[in-house]
Amino acid sequence: MGRSGWAKHEIIPCERCGTAIECKANSYTKCQCSAVQLTINEVQHISELYDGCLCAKCLFELQQEYRETLV
């Protein structure tokens, strides 16, 4: 099937900062958010704060904020 037949990824705003991001939830390993490796506890913490997609920058910042609470 040619590329024109593929579903396009949705451009959505990051729920935290509003930056436009390309959501690739159906292709997670190619999504920009997969650059941030989160522990299960970090995922749980962030999911308690946000329901939608977040950009990699915000995920990293939230990860750092969470880790600072553990010190």
Nearest partner of 13 among 49, 50, 43, judged by Cα: 50
Structure tokens given for 64: 């750092």
The alpha carbon of residue 36 and the mean position of all alpha carbons in its chain are separated, in whole angstroms, by 8
- Summarised one tens digit per residue, pLDDT across range 10-33 is 899 999 999 999 887 777 677 787
Nearest partner of 63 among 51, 28, 23, 45, judged by Cα: 45
d(CA 24, CA 48): 21
Nearest partner of 55 among 6, 11, 3, judged by Cα: 11
| pTM of the full structure | 0.79
Kindly tell me if the per-residue pLDDT of 8 is higher than 60: yes
Kindly tell me if the per-residue pLDDT of 57 is higher than 80: yes
Domain boundaries, the chain: 9-69
